[in-house]
Amino acid sequence: MSDVNTRLEHIFQQVVRRNQGELEFHQAVKEVIETLGPVLEKHPEYAEHKIIERICEPERQIIFRVPWQDDKGEVQINRGFRVGFNSALGPYKGGLRFHPSVSLGTIKFLGFEQTFKNALSGMPIGGAKGGADFDPKGKSDGEVMRFCQSFMTELYRHIGEFTDVPAGDIGVGGREIGYLFGQYKRITNRYESGVLTGKNPSWGGALVRREATGYGAVFFAEEMLKARGESIEGKTCVVSGSGNVAIYAIEKLHQLGAKVVACSDSNGVIYDRNGIDLELMKQIKEVKRQRVSEYVKSHPHAQYIEKGNVWDVPCQLAFPCATQNELDEASAKVLVANGLIALSEGANMPVTPGGIKVLQTAGVSYAPGKAANAGGVATSALEMQQNASRDAWSFEYTEERLHKIMCNIHRDCFETAKEYGQPGNYVVGANIAGFRRVAEAMVAFGII
């Protein structure tokens, strides 16, 4: 085993050397690699084919200029990205993120995670991610449209329903997907519905897609609690963020009888001991596109904590649904001290390595994002199925399919962790189960 660990450390150091300064990518790779020693022991053919080395290197990386004109007539220039990480299981699949923090390292970490997440979903899709350092906040609809059209004018030549199928992510919702699809249709002269997911249901989108990531994170938490002999009903919950994932995690938690007492945005935290008023929060975030501080104008009994830490609020269940590395070791210790029993990641890599260690040491059931938030991409794959068959499914049927997929992901993670001698360790279970599916396909295809 020591030889295997030495080999894995060498692989990781090689990744660091070849991807200098991309700290989030390093973090994502390290978190997976350090769990794979037992797999190489059991499957030496993976080492022979250098599967880990190949899986850490994206199949393609595209960077391009995105010029556009703002409402004042001034020319603006942003940078666009699309990284196709691995297509062993199907066409590249992963979202587009529009946010000022987007860099190549960010996109690579997300694409790497997406590869394993998509494999865990059981759907025939590979892993990719893309985006731009463009901020839709504060922009007019016209500015967002012109940016999306310029972005797609380059991206269109690299995507297709059998090649690469982007979707939404942070900063890319129904409005942006509409503008992107419209430009793709205009350039290609094809109504290729399956080329983008996250579309409006009225023109090819799937019902439940908007809700899927948040719902899925809750479904996974529900399965974790069942494995502990507990239930979601009656539990006090905290959800970070107030975007798409957070809002629909709150919705499903309410439907299952839990009480969500806090959520947040980048400016501060809302704490409502009576439970978050979901309809009001939807109005604030989805209709008016305002900050969560507006909540207290309608509910003066609630508390707004400017620049507060949502993880200071006592809870039994936690759902990080905002962004990467938002929950550190110190916050994890506070959550544990306040009675946390389970945490399910709605965002990608929101808990730092130190935070994960604290949670696992304390016996908290911890669900990594590649398993817990796979509901979004799984429902995107269901949208692709509907597009391919020119069909449209009901909300109830699609949610039933999503629920079954999340239960299957939990089962695979739980059983794999037990198989490799670490029962209850969902990090080990998710990493190994996802890796094995991709590895088997890569071995079958030969050295390509």
44 Cβ contact partners less than 8 Å away, ≥ 6 residues apart: none
Which two three-digit tokens encode residue 373? Answer: 């938030």
For residue 231, give the amino acid letter. Answer: S
What distance in Å separates the CA atoms of residue 167 and residue 155, rounded to the nearest whole number? 13
Question: For the packed helices 329-337 and 353-361, what is the interaxial angle rounded to 10 degrees?
Answer: 20
Q: Which of 117, 129, 259, 285 is catalytic?
A: 129
105 Cβ contact partners less than 8 Å away, ≥ 6 residues apart: 19, 21, 22, 23, 24, 25
Are the beta carbons of 66 and 79 closer than 8 angstroms?
A: yes
- Which of 411, 446, 8 shows the shortest CA–CA distance to 220? 411
What distance in Å separates the CA atoms of residue 243 and residue 248, rounded to the nearest whole number? 9
Q: Hey, what long-range contacts does 209-212 have (CB within 8 A, 24 or more apart)? A: 209/376, 209/379, 209/380, 209/383, 210/174, 210/244, 210/248, 211/248, 211/251, 211/252, 211/399, 212/248, 212/375, 212/376, 212/378, 212/379, 212/380, 212/402
Q: What are the b/e assignments for 113-145, b being 16+ CB within 10 Å?
A: bbbbbbbbbbbebbbbbbbbbbebeebeeebbb
> Which backbone phi and psi does 233 adopt, to 5 degrees?
-55, 130
Residue recorded with tokens 């938002």: 326
What distance in Å separates the CA atoms of residue 438 and residue 442, rounded to the nearest whole number? 6
Question: For the packed helices 104-121 and 23-33, what is the interaxial angle rounded to 10 degrees?
Answer: 30
Which two three-digit tokens encode residue 355? Answer: 């935070």
Residue recorded with tokens 């030549």: 157
- Which of 264, 265, 246 shows the shortest CA–CA distance to 346? 246
129 assigned to active site? yes
Q: Hey, what long-range contacts does 15-21 have (CB within 8 A, 24 or more apart)? A: 15/56, 18/57, 19/105, 19/108, 21/105
Are the beta carbons of 218 and 253 closer than 8 angstroms?
A: yes
> Which backbone phi and psi does 129 adopt, to 5 degrees?
-160, 160
What distance in Å separates the CA atoms of residue 352 and residue 370, rounded to the nearest whole number? 14
Q: Which residues are catalytic?
A: 129
